[in-house]
Structures are given as C-alpha cells and as structure tokens.
A and B are shown apart, each in its own frame.
Chain A
Amino acid sequence: AQSVAQPEDQVNVAEGNPLTVKCTYSVSGNPYLFWYVQYPNRGLQFLLKYITGDNLVKGSYGFEAEFNKSQTSFHLKKPSALVSDSALYFCAVRDGDNDMRFGAGTRLTVKP
C-alpha cells in the first residue's frame, strides 16, 4: 500500500527566508511524487512532480523539491519565501497503476 506523511501541520517562516515543507512516502514500487498547493476555498494547484531522472525537481513559482530514495523523502523547498506563498501544501504519491494518495497537508505561513 502507498502512503504519504507530512510530519508538520504548520510551518512558519519570515519573508525572504528559505522554506522547507517535509514529506516522506511509502510505496512498494517506484514512486511518482507530487506537490500541490491549495488556497482558501479553491481546488488543488499542481506545483511539481518527480517521475524519474534528476533528484532535484524545479516547479512553478520558484519552488523545487528534492527526491531522496534512501530516506524516502520528497521535501519541498524555496530559497526565498513570499507572503503570497502562504497556503496549504499537499504532498502526494502514486505507485504504478494506483491512484494518488495525499498527505494531510502542511499549512505554510510566511510573515512579513
């Protein structure tokens, strides 16, 4: 069975500082990994994905994520946070033919 864990319910950072939102996963095969962002009363917006290849994946709005197979992690990062990055972030995993499974989400708050 596939699963995702986001160990932090809340992450607070100051504007201009780097941010990291953590994600670990469990799958039986090779994982497809995703990050999505959700703004209030909206659907999920795709940020980036890892399918294969380079472990560092670059996505939308300056976000990137690093795939670490040995630690089964896929942490989301951004070098310099913006107040507008404040939102709910979801990590998701898909294993082979299975559909995506999401973590519980991490609320990111960027303070001016």
Chain B
Amino acid sequence: DAGVTQSPTHLIKTRGQQVTLRCSPKSGHDTVSWYQQALGQGPQFIFQYYEEEERQRGNFPDRFSGHQFPNYSSELNVNALLLGDSALYLCASTLNRVEAFFGQGTRLTVV
C-alpha cells in the first residue's frame, strides 16, 4: 500500500501564476481533504472532496479550487498566486471519516 502520495514535492511559482497540486489517496479511501500549513503554524483546512463533489470548505478565497476524479484522486488549484500562498500543502485521505492519513506534502514557494 503506497499510502497517500502527493506531487510535486517542491514547486516555485511567480506571483500571479496558477498552480495545480495532485494527490492520490490511500488505497480504499474515498474522501480527500486539503490543508495549508504556513511556516510555524498548524494545518488550516481548505476543503474536502467526496464523491467528486466539494463537501466542506474552510475560510479560503475562491482562488483556491479543487477537483476529485472517479478514482478518488484529487487536485488543488490556486489561481493568481500571492506571496502569502507560500506554504506546505497537505493532502489527507480518510475512509468513513475517522482518522486521516496524510501525504508528505507539496512545498509551494511563490516569488
């Protein structure tokens, strides 16, 4: 079992650009959540996908959007990048919404 995998591991983008991050959930898991972890802070909930629909959303602007595919994998898209979007982006998957298993994260740097 490969667990939760995220790609890419590191990414550098310029302000104003758009970025897509990808996540493959743990085998058998049907729910994917995305979190943003700024340096020195705890993870902040962005949104959750289940059955290819956004089920819950945290306090993030519409520049943050996502998608879930029929195989349960997911993408996080961020448009019009700001310097403040620099963070570690974590994907987590769950089954029956009990404990979440996290990927290694994608480190996004906006310059």
B-contacting residues of A (Cβ < 8 Å)?
Answer: 32, 34, 36, 41-46, 49, 51, 90, 94, 97-105
CB-CB under 8 A for A99 and B101, given A90-B42, A105-B41, A105-B42: no
Collect the chain A residues with CB atoms within 8 Å of residue B48's CB: 99
- The answer to whether B56 touches A102 (Cβ under 8 A) is no
The distance in angstroms between the C-alpha atoms of A11 and B40, with both chains bound, is 15
* 26 residue pairs bridging A and B, Cβ less than 8 Å apart: A32-B98, A34-B100, A42-B104, A43-B4, A43-B103, A43-B104, A43-B105, A44-B90, A44-B92, A44-B102, A46-B99, A46-B100, A49-B99, A51-B98, A90-B43, A94-B97, A97-B97, A98-B56, A99-B45, A99-B48, A100-B33, A100-B45, A102-B42, A102-B43, A102-B44, A104-B41
- The answer to whether B105 touches A42 (Cβ under 8 A) is yes
The distance in angstroms between the C-alpha atoms of A97 and B35, with both chains bound, is 17
Collect the chain B residues with CB atoms within 8 Å of residue A105's CB: 41-42
Interface residues of B in 56-95 (CB under 8 A from A): 56, 58, 90, 92
CB-CB under 8 A for A45 and B99, given A98-B56, A102-B43, A105-B41: no
- The answer to whether A43 touches B102 (Cβ under 8 A) is yes
A-contacting residues of B (Cβ < 8 Å)?
Answer: 4, 6, 33, 35, 41-45, 48, 56, 58, 90, 92, 97-105, 107
Given A90-B42, A103-B42, A104-B41, 7 more A-B residue pairs with CB atoms under 8 Å apart are A41-B107, A43-B102, A44-B92, A46-B100, A94-B97, A102-B35, A102-B43
Collect the chain A residues with CB atoms within 8 Å of residue B33's CB: 99-100
Collect the chain B residues with CB atoms within 8 Å of residue A36's CB: 102
